[in-house]
């Protein structure tokens, strides 16, 4: 029988345009708080590097480089890549190794440095994750994929851009209170609704950021947890899903099928329902992605996500707080670090350690992470349980 596994510590760099640091230095910045908690290198059996796209920084063999730099040389290490879900794919791989008894204590470290290339080049690199025969050559970038989803949602359910603007306002409200955020600034509804178009109907404030940064967590087997913390965050449920590569082959553009599958699998493994979740970190690469996530995760019925937004049920004191760290939209989206950063945020909220009390969620005993790669070709959902 698989062993129970818990997250016992974490660390997080400042997200942003980090021209002051390299990939290895960002990684060390995220790892240092873990060492400061007393989990030194000699206590870690192996590591997984979540590093999605080495072409941004030009550094290959990242797991070897970073293991050496942070003092884990001569320990087993590996790199995982799964587009924007690289962080949670890495955590899922590490969980499997610890649950199976291969290792007792593992580090999962996610990092990306995306601003060493131009925005145009970064967009092109990411666009190459689309179909290189039938999508990429015709100019379909990821803003275009999600613009198609937004247009279809508006057509089917009569939603206006006002709803998406209100999601952006919420994201920046919480990002402004997060010292780790890339763009910690409040925005008005008017700014969010009337910003320059990126890919209609999506505008500047509908799109996540091209970000540099790192995040790290340590997981341990149930028999080792007490060595490290009396506040473990147990990995209670895990689900993974996939969707058709080309979105033209999907039955609907108002839902991501892989996300529904992953969520249902995670709920089943955890033995809980959507109504039990006290907070969620969802993959808001675009505001429409956050809205669709509400429905795919069962927080709202199809077409009813806008009601959740209008009633502010997604705020820290609402029925289902979502992305109270600013999300990808304001905190930032360094690809390999994103899923690990989401996990770190759930841990901080469970411990009552959100940096600003006005974004701290009360009494979080169950938290959810929803991490989507590409336009839904990869999806991971984790459910975490407070262990004290």
Residues annotated as catalytic are 84, 333
Q: Are 333 and 56 in contact (CB under 8 A)?
A: no
Q: How far is CA 330 from CA 2, 49, 163, in A?
A: 38, 24, 17
DSSP E strands, 13-134:
46-50, 77-80, 105-113
Q: How far is CA 48 from CA 102, 245, 254, 319, in A?
A: 14, 26, 34, 35
Q: Are 312 and 318 in contact (CB under 8 A)?
A: yes
User: Which residue's structure tokens are 């670090």?
Assistant: 337
Rounded-to-integer distance, Cα 2 and Cα 112, Å: 32
Q: Are 213 and 111 in contact (CB under 8 A)?
A: yes
**Pick from 2, 381, 8, 27: nearest CA to 219:** 8
């Amino acid at each position: 029988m698989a062993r129970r596994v818990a997250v016992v510590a974490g660390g997080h760099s400042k997200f942003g345009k980090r021209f002051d640091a390299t990939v290895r230095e960002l990684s060390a910045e995220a790892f240092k708080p873990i060492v400061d908690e007393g989990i030194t290198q000699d206590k870690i059996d192996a590591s997984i590097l979540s590093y999605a796209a080495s072409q941004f920084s030009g550094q290959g063999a990242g797991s070897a480089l970073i293991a050496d730099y942070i003092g884990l040389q001569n320990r087993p290490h590996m790199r995982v890549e799964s587009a924007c879900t690289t962080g949670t794919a890495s955590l899922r791989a590490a969980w499997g190794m610890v649950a199976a008894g291969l290792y007792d204590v593992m580090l999962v470290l996610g990092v990306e440095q995306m601003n060493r290339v131009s925005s145009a080049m970064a967009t092109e690199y990411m666009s190459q994750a689309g179909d290189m025969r039938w999508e990429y050559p015709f100019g379909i970038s990821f803003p275009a994929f999600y613009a198609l989803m937004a247009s279809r949602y508006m057509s089917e359910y009569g939603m206006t851009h006002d709803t998406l603007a209100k999601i952006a306002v919420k994201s920046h409200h919480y990002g402004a209170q997060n010292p780790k955020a890339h763009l910690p600034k409040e925005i008005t509804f008017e700014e969010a609704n009337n910003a320059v178009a990126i890919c209609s109907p999506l505008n500047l404030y509908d799109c996540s950021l091209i970000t540099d940064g790192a995040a790290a967590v340590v997981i341990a087997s149930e028999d080792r947890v007490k060595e490290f913390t009396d506040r473990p965050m147990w990995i209670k449920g895990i689900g993974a899903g996939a969707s058709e590569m080309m979105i033209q082959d999907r039955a609907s553009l108002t839902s991501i099928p892989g996300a529904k599958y992953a969520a249902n699998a995670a709920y089943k493994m955890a033995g809980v329902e959507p109504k039990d979740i006290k907070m969620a970190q969802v993959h808001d690469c675009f505001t429409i992605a956050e809205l669709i996530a509400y429905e795919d995760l069962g927080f709202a019925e199809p077409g009813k996500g806008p009601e959740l937004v209008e009633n502010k049920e997604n705020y820290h004191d609402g029925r289902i707080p979502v992305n109270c760290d600013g999300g990808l939209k304001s905190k930032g989206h360094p690809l390999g670090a994103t899923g690990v950063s989401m996990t770190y945020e759930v841990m901080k909220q469970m411990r009552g350690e959100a940096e600003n009390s006005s974004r701290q969620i009360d009494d979080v005993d169950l938290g959810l992470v929803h991490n989507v790669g590409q336009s839904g070709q990869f999806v991971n959902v984790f459910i975490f349980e407070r262990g004290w």
